[in-house]
Structure 1
Amino acid sequence: MRRLYENLIQQHVAHYQQMLFLAGPRQVGKTTISLTAQALTDRLTYLNWDNQDHRKIILDGPTAVAHHMELSGVYVKKPILILDELHKYRRWKTFLKGFFDTYRNQLHIIVTGSSRLDIYRSGGDSLMGRYFPYRVHPLTVAECVRTAISHTDIHPPTPIESTLFDALFEFGGFPEPFLNKDKQFSHRWKQLRKEQLFRGDIRDLSRIQEIDQLELLSELIKHQAGQLVNYSNLANKIKVSVDTIRRWINTLSSFYHCFIVRPWSTNISRSLLKEPKIYLWDWSDINDIGKRAENFVASHLLKAVHFWTDQGLGNYGLYFLRDKEKREVDFLVTKNNQPWFLAEVKYGDNTSISRQLEMFQQQTKAKHAFQIAINKEFIPVDCFSYHHPVIVPAKTWLSQLI
């Protein structure tokens, strides 16, 4: 199936000279997406650091890579170079800077990685101004019904087939399990991906030796998705320090296993300023339906704020609201550091709206306030035309995002 990010590459190559960085979790489709650039060039070269022959070419330096690409030739469309998992090379940043500064007018460069590319930016000269980053997310409702790129953040509602929505909720948005829609395949795929993440990527690229304890932490996080992170409690269960738990959660976030959402405190009386909430990139790992529903929406919102920001539409952020009386709204999305809309998630089709939505909308002055009903049927109505708290179908509301 066609991905939203294919159009993003096409747009980038047409308008920008900077390198394109595609970062995202393992098996989200980065390599497949990047290889669609074949249609945009007369010569595409793919080099994967995990391939020993490709690694040798990279280690021989920029001149060797240029020779391998035959950059001395004449082309109607600029050659494109894809560098996959290059961040595993200790001097990847120095290599890229030298190569880009020498050959920038002769080609386009796409760099992909299954960990946050920024965490390896140590030593050497800065790449600032030489690249634009794009974060690749799993499939979402909106991407299932629309892959065209526009210059607006909110789109008209578009219906999604119930079978697709149900498969997305059950199997997650990673392409292979979503497309297979088979529980046995999904279980095997998840186990293999977990082994590759912990026994491969994290072990090789971090200094963490206690992989078994890190895996235990990931299991505990799975059961606490959508809850406040209690670092002390996790430290006691795993028998490590609180600082170690903080560092390990940061590592798991860096490899796109989980993500944290922090509390918003501006304009909130008696707001909570401490612990964040934690969610998984793969919401299908969560067995509890209510928790999965909240994580499902959290993942959609994270993808939206990342995409809108990466595309240059503004500076977007994802937060939650909670005060010391434990009154809470699941999510607040900000636009250019100002509250934009609130979202409270309910699995069932509740007829009564959360009182906290109205209260926090008044405090934050957010333009919209939504109660998202996961199992409510699609309605062809623009949810963002309402400025007071409303109950909306997830199938409608999520289709208006990314």
Structure 2
Amino acid sequence: MRRIYQELIQDHLLRLRQMVFLMGPRQVGKTTLSLAAAEIHPRHSYFNWDNPAEKLLFIEGPDAIAKQADLLELAKEKPVLIFDEIHKYRKWKQFLKGFFDAYERTSKMIITGSSRLNVYKRGGDSLMGRYFYYRIHPLTVAEITAPYLIEDEIRKNPKPISDEDWNALMEHGGFPEPFLQRSKSFSRRLQAIRKDQLFREDIRDGTRIQELAQLELLAELLRKQAAQAMDYVSLSKKVGVSIDTIRRWIEVLKSFYYCFSIQPWSKNISRSLLKEPKLYLWDWSLVEEEGHHHENLVASHLLKAVHFWTDRGLGNFGLYYLRTKDKIEVDFLVTKNGKPWFLVEVKTKAKGLSSSLYRFQEETGAPHAFQIAFDLPFVDKNCFEEKGPILVPAKTFLSQLV
């Protein structure tokens, strides 16, 4: 199936000199996207660190890869080189810098990674200026119904998702294979494999953590507490490690795309919480309780949107939640260039508008406030034309994102 990232990567390869960094969890489709994007170029080569023969080429250095890819031959167009799982190479950063500096004029490069690449997108990076990164997310409603780029952030013409696709997205999640297979047994088997790879390969090989059984217990506790504020003290007691260790381990799980967190927004909010993050899973199909499952699905859609908009250069977007010390709460706030843009409250069933939306829209000055309901049928209407708090079908709202 076509994905929106394919057009994004192809556009980058045609216009920009920088390397493409594709970051995201295992089985989200990074390799498939890389190969699909490269196919429009007459010449492209694929190198995988996990292939023993190609591993030797990486170790030999940039010239060995260049020779294998025929970069020393005169060519009308620059060939595309894909380096897959290169983050497993201890000297991957040094290799890429050397390769780019030597062969930027004769090649285009796509780099994929499921863990460490995200660490190096921050400051203090010797690769700075040599790459742009794109964070790859699972499938979402808008990508299923309209997998093409638009100039603005919001899709003004919502498109209905079929009942079959909607049910598959709800039950099997947005990772491409389980979504397309639509088989409970297949999804369970793939989840088991992904879990085993996470703890027995990625974290074991990529960190110094020895207490993998306790880390696995923490991951299971986080799964059961998804869409809730994190209680470090309680987690510390249940896992049997210090609070500081819990914090470090959660950061590890986040870096390997098991979960993500959002912070409370406090500017102009009276009696706001300041530090307590809420946690969600990358695979919302793992969340069992219905209300938390729906909230996690929306959180994933919103995170994908703010990452996509930011990575495209449309602005600097952020995702937060709102909660006061009196436990008055709205599930999500999306910001644009540091200013509140729209509020989202998630409900399984349609009912009266939450008074919290009115309060927080006034305090934040956000132009839009939505209460989205999962039991309402799709409505062919741009909900972003509305200013005050309004009840919106989840199928409509989500189809207008990414």
> TM-score, normalising length from structure 1?
0.98
Moved more, 34-43 or 383-392: 34-43
SS of the residue corresponding to residue 314 of structure 1 reads coil
Q: Does residue 362 of structure 2 align to residue 362 of structure 1?
A: yes
Other-structure match for 1:217 = 218
Distance 2:223 2:360 in 1: 28
Q: Does residue 312 of structure 2 align to residue 315 of structure 1?
A: no
How many angstroms does 1:78 deviate by? Answer: 1.2
Please tell me whether the aligned partners of residues 114 and 256 of structure 2 are also in contact (alpha carbons under 8 angstroms).
yes
Other-structure match for 1:277 = 278
Please tell me whether the aligned partners of residues 118 and 255 of structure 2 are also in contact (alpha carbons under 8 angstroms).
no
How many angstroms does 1:252 deviate by? Answer: 0.4
Equivalent residue letter for 1:62? P
Q: Deviations over 1:222-252 (max 9, x none)?
A: 1111111011110110000001000000000
Other-structure match for 1:179 = 180
Distance 1:40 1:47 in 2: 18
Distance 1:209 1:52 in 2: 27
Other-structure match for 2:396 = 396
Please tell me whether the aligned partners of residues 229 and 275 of structure 1 are also in contact (alpha carbons under 8 angstroms).
yes
Other-structure match for 1:127 = 127
Superposed CA RMSD: 1.4
CA spacing shift, 1:116–1:300, aligned 2, 3 Å: farther
How many angstroms does 1:42 deviate by? Answer: 1.9
SS of the residue corresponding to residue 217 of structure 1 reads helix
Distance 1:274 1:57 in 2: 47
Other-structure match for 1:166 = 167
Other-structure match for 1:16 = 16
Other-structure match for 2:59 = 59
How many angstroms does 1:119 deviate by? Answer: 2.3
Other-structure match for 2:44 = 44
Distance 2:121 2:285 in 1: 32
Other-structure match for 1:234 = 235
How many angstroms does 1:388 deviate by? Answer: 0.2
Distance 2:153 2:34 in 1: 24
Distance 1:124 1:381 in 2: 46
Distance 2:65 2:283 in 1: 36
Distance 1:125 1:345 in 2: 39
Distance 1:103 1:159 in 2: 46
Distance 1:241 1:38 in 2: 47
Please tell me whether the aligned partners of residues 300 and 398 of structure 1 are also in contact (alpha carbons under 8 angstroms).
yes
Equivalent residue letter for 1:22? L
How many angstroms does 1:43 deviate by? Answer: 1.4
Q: Deviations over 1:142-167 (max 9, x none)?
A: 00011111221000211111111111
SS of the residue corresponding to residue 134 of structure 2 reads strand
Other-structure match for 2:110 = 110
Equivalent residue letter for 1:54? E
Equivalent residue letter for 1:90? R
Q: Deviations over 1:9-30 (max 9, x none)?
A: 1110111000000000000010
Q: Runs of 4+ in structure 1 displaced over 6 angstroms?
A: 121-125
Other-structure match for 2:288 = 287
Structure 1: any 5+ residue segments left out of the alignment?
A: none
Distance 2:386 2:147 in 1: 25
SS of the residue corresponding to residue 327 of structure 2 reads coil
Distance 1:47 1:384 in 2: 44
> TM-score, normalising length from structure 2?
0.98
How many angstroms does 1:275 deviate by? Answer: 1.1
Equivalent residue letter for 1:394? A
Give the 5 Å matches for 1:317-396: 317-350=318-351, 352-396=352-396
Q: Deviations over 1:90-134 (max 9, x none)?
A: 111111011101110111000000114132689996101000000
Please tell me whether the aligned partners of residues 94 and 125 of structure 1 are also in contact (alpha carbons under 8 angstroms).
no
Other-structure match for 2:29 = 29
Q: Deviations over 1:283-322 (max 9, x none)?
A: 0001111110000000000000000000000000000000
CA spacing shift, 1:190–1:88, aligned 2, 3 Å: same
Please tell me whether the aligned partners of residues 369 and 389 of structure 1 are also in contact (alpha carbons under 8 angstroms).
yes
Q: Deviations over 1:161-209 (max 9, x none)?
A: 1111111011100011110111111111100111011101111001111
How many angstroms does 1:41 deviate by? Answer: 1.5
Please tell me whether the aligned partners of residues 93 and 124 of structure 1 are also in contact (alpha carbons under 8 angstroms).
no
CA spacing shift, 1:105–1:332, aligned 2, 3 Å: same
SS of the residue corresponding to residue 169 of structure 1 reads helix
Please tell me whether the aligned partners of residues 93 and 121 of structure 1 are also in contact (alpha carbons under 8 angstroms).
no
SS of the residue corresponding to residue 40 of structure 1 reads coil
SS of the residue corresponding to residue 58 of structure 1 reads helix
Distance 2:51 2:388 in 1: 55
How many angstroms does 1:75 deviate by? Answer: 2.4
Equivalent residue letter for 2:54? H
Please tell me whether the aligned partners of residues 87 and 120 of structure 1 are also in contact (alpha carbons under 8 angstroms).
no
Aligned residues: 401
SS of the residue corresponding to residue 102 of structure 2 reads helix
Structure 2: any 5+ residue segments left out of the alignment?
A: none
Equivalent residue letter for 1:251? V
Percentage of identical aligned residues: 58
Please tell me whether the aligned partners of residues 42 and 76 of structure 1 are also in contact (alpha carbons under 8 angstroms).
no
SS of the residue corresponding to residue 189 of structure 1 reads helix
Give the 5 Å matches for 1:173-212: 173-212=174-213
Other-structure match for 2:145 = 145
How many angstroms does 1:38 deviate by? Answer: 3.5
Distance 2:212 2:74 in 1: 50
